Each structure stands twice: as C-alpha cells, then as structure tokens.
C-alpha cells in the first residue's frame, strides 16, 4: 500500500461531515510538521458550527513564487446508509475502486497533495519560493468561515499568492482530461410579489400575485443576459422554487415567493443582472420586494505558467492531453483568486461525487499524487 493510499484510507475513516474536520487536518499536520512545514490552525465560526482551517508553509532557500495546494476535508452527508453497499466511512475496495464518502470529493486530492508536498520537500529541501497548503472544513457548507477567512487573514498580513491548484474533482472520463481555469459567478434572488388575498369567487375584490407574476416570469425565462465569451458560456437564469397560496382551494393568495439563480460569465456583473431583473418587474407593474445573495463572482485564469506546468505534468504521467474548462458550479477558488493571480482546479474523476457509493479509481490515486509533485517541481525548482 502506497503512502498516498494509506493516508487516503485514514482520511475516509474520519466522519468529517461539514463543518466537522474530525481530525483530518491533524493527520496532515503530523506528516508535514516533521518536514519543516509551519502549520497554523485557524478556528473560525460559532461554537455550534466550528470550522477548522489549516495553513501550512515551507519556505525555500531562494526567491521564487508562492505555490498553494488547496482543498477541503469536509464531506457532504451520506444520505440513507441502507443504500450504501458498504459503510461510507469504512474504506472498501471493489473492482479496482476505493469506496467511501469523500473518496472523490475530495479526500483523494487531500492525500495526494499532502504526500506530493512531502516528497517534493524531501527531494528539494532548498527549493525556490514557498510551498503552501490551505485546507478547510467549510467548503461543502455555507463557506463563510473557511477558505475565505484564511484569505482575509493572509490579506491582513500583506501576503500575495502566485499560483494555486484547488483539488476539486475535475476529470470527466479519465484522469487528467479536464482542468478548470475559472468558474462562473453565482447570484441568487428571493423575490416576493405582493397581491391582495381574497375569495376565488370574488376576484374583483382581490389581486392574484401569481397571475400578475406569470408574464414577467415568461419574459425573464427567455431573456438573453449575455452571449458569453471564449472562456465562458452565456449567463443562465433558473427558477428553483415557487411558493404561493394558503393550501385552500378557494383562497386567492396574498403573495408569491420565487427563488431564482444566475450563473453568470465575466460578460455580466451582479449590478447589471439586478438592474435588468428589477426593470422587468417594474415594467409589469409588480408590487415586489427582492433579497439578493451574491454567492461568488466569476474568476478566470488565462493560459499561462500554472496551466502549462500542470498540463505538462498530466501529459507526462498519463499521456492525456488536457482541456481547459470553466463549466460547473462554484468552488473555493473564487476566494483564493482575490489574492492569487493564477488559480486552477484539478483532481480525480467526478462521476460519483455526492452520490451513494462514492468512489475513486485506485489506479488514479498515485498518478494524481505524481501529477501534483511534477507540477511543484516545474514551478519551484
């Protein structure tokens, strides 16, 4: 059993359902501290939702860039245990795969990054620049006391990062086929349209907010928000929930509440989306209120030294010619991009993430570690 697989199995065995780290970062620290890494734990959040963050650094003997390996030790809940073939927190091998919650998202990356960092420092103790690892237990949750708090602490110290690889599971069909070099932004709105409640038999004495909202929804659903660009697809808008009515069949509701979300490209801004949305509502004469939540702004790392080094490492290790992509949801890369010029995401195959019987190909575990190590060698030697 390789060091990477051994560490991965130990991590899967920890029931680190967000925001509980369950000792995962302690396992990482036990490996890195003896190698000369300065390991700083930052606890954030209230007592009933305590988040554990790790910032570990190894400073080289020569000037050079600061390269960060980032990820999260928390996992999503398991879902019904009866539907799992084996205990999700007991690493289990079947048909060349390792099963367990977090196997793909993203304890394989955590283990591979940790072992790769150790191997690199052992081989190049006088490397250039700084090698750092940033791990949090608040990525699968609200993401308010995790990576973003570490970034704020680094900003307060005046630290800037040069390159960062986030270990999100980005591969689609085979390890190495996809690197994420950016992500769309996410903007949510909770829209309340007010009417006048009344009896369905006397609609002239009421005002049905659902009827009033329907034409506006139809227009919003066909709105072209932007055309996207060479790196991002066009911005999309989707309704996720509609709530209206008292439950009685003979009552016109007094209000309707709609939850909706934009996944937006760099061609749009939160301000432009808000403005166009509310202009449509006013055009239809709605009596409304809207509460906004900006989940994250889009970020983009154009092809450059980091993506080239990572792509070359993937090609050397697997023979795969990788593609750059900005599809998918959000990640902690959106926070790191505030203080880091180049941020990409790369990790194992994502087909089973958040699913029952989550798994990773055993043969990919060591290859992933080697890809991370080769990338460090390219950037820090």
- Catalytic hit among 119, 139, 358, 364: 139
d(CA 181, CA 365): 22
Q: How crowded is residue 183: how many other Cβ atoms within 10 Å of its Cβ?
A: 27
CB 217 within 8 A of CB 239: yes
226 as an active site residue: the answer is no
CB-hemisphere CA count at 13 Å for 32? Answer: 29
Q: How far apart are CA 149 and CA 141, in angstroms?
A: 14
Q: Where are the beta strands (DSSP E) in the chain?
A: 38-44, 51-59, 62-72, 92-94, 97-99, 128-136, 161-166, 178-180, 182-183, 185-194, 198-199, 236-244, 251-252, 255-264, 288-296, 299-300, 323-325, 340-345, 359-361
Residue 298 tokens read as: 């889009």
Q: Are 44 and 51 in contact (CB under 8 A)?
A: yes
> Which residue ranges make up the annotated binding site for Zn(2+)?
72, 105, 140, 168, 354
Q: Is 96 left (phi over 0), alpha (psi -120 to 50) or beta?
A: left
Helix (H, G, I), strand (E, B) or coil at 97: strand
Assess whether 255 carries a catalytic annotation: no
Put residue 38 in one of left, alpha, beta given phi > 0 → left and psi -120 to 50 → alpha.
beta
For residues 152 and 145, give the distance between their C-alpha atoms in angstroms, rounded to a whole number. 10
**Active-site choice (9, 20, 21, 74):** 74
Sole residue written with tokens 């307060």: 156
Q: Which of 114, 131, 144 is nearest to 27 (CA)?
A: 114
- Two structure tokens written together for 201: 């038999």
The pair of structure tokens assigned to 196 is 């006048």
Element (H, E) at 26: helix 24-32
DSSP alpha helix (H) spans, 73-208 = 108-123, 147-156
Q: Quick one: the chain helix, strand, coil %, rounded to 5?
A: 35, 30, 35
- Give catalytic residue positions: 74, 139
């Amino acid at each position: 059993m390789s060091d990477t697989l051994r560490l991965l199995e130990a991590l899967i065995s920890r029931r680190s359902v967000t925001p509980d780290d369950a000792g995962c970062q302690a396992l990482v620290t036990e490996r890195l501290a003896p190698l000369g890494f300065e390991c700083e734990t930052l606890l954030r959040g209230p007592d009933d939702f305590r988040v554990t963050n790790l910032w570990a650094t190894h400073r080289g003997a020569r000037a050079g860039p600061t390269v960060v390996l980032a990820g999260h030790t928390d996992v999503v809940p398991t879902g019904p245990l009866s539907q799992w073939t084996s205990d999700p927190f007991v690493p289990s091998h079947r048909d060349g795969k390792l099963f367990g919650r977090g196997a793909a998202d993203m304890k394989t990356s955590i283990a591979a990054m940790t072992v790769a960092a150790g191997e690199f420092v052992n081989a190049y103790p006088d490397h250039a620049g700084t090698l750092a690892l940033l791990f949090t237990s608040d990525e699968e949750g609200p993401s308010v006391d995790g990576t973003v708090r570490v970034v704020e602490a680094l900003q307060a110290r005046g630290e800037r990062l040069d390159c960062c690889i986030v270990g999100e599971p980005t591969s689609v069909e085979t390890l190495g086929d996809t690197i994420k070099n950016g992500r769309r932004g996410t903007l949510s709105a909770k829209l309340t349209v007010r009417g006048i409640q009344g009896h369905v038999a006397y609609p002239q004495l009421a005002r049905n907010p659902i009827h009033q909202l329907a034409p506006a929804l139809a227009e919003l659903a066909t709105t072209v928000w932007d055309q996207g660009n060479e790196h991002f697809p066009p911005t999309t808008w989707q309704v996720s929930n509609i709530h209206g009515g008292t439950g009685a069949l003979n009552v016109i509701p007094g209000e309707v509440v709609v939850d909706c979300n934009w996944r937006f490209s760099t061609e749009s801004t939160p301000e432009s989306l808000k403005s166009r949305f509310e202009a449509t509502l006013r055009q239809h004469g709605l009596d409304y209120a809207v509460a906004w939540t900006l989940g994250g702004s889009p970020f983009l790392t154009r092809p450059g030294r980091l993506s080239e080094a990572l792509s070359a490492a993937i090609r050397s290790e697997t023979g795969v010619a990788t593609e750059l992509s900005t599809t998918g949801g959000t990640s902690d890369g959106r926070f790191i991009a505030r203080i880091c010029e180049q941020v990409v995401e790369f990790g194992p195959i994502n087909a089973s993430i958040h699913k029952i019987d989550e798994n990773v190909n055993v043969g990919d575990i060591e290859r992933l570690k080697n890809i991370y190590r080769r990338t460090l060698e390219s950037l820090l030697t």
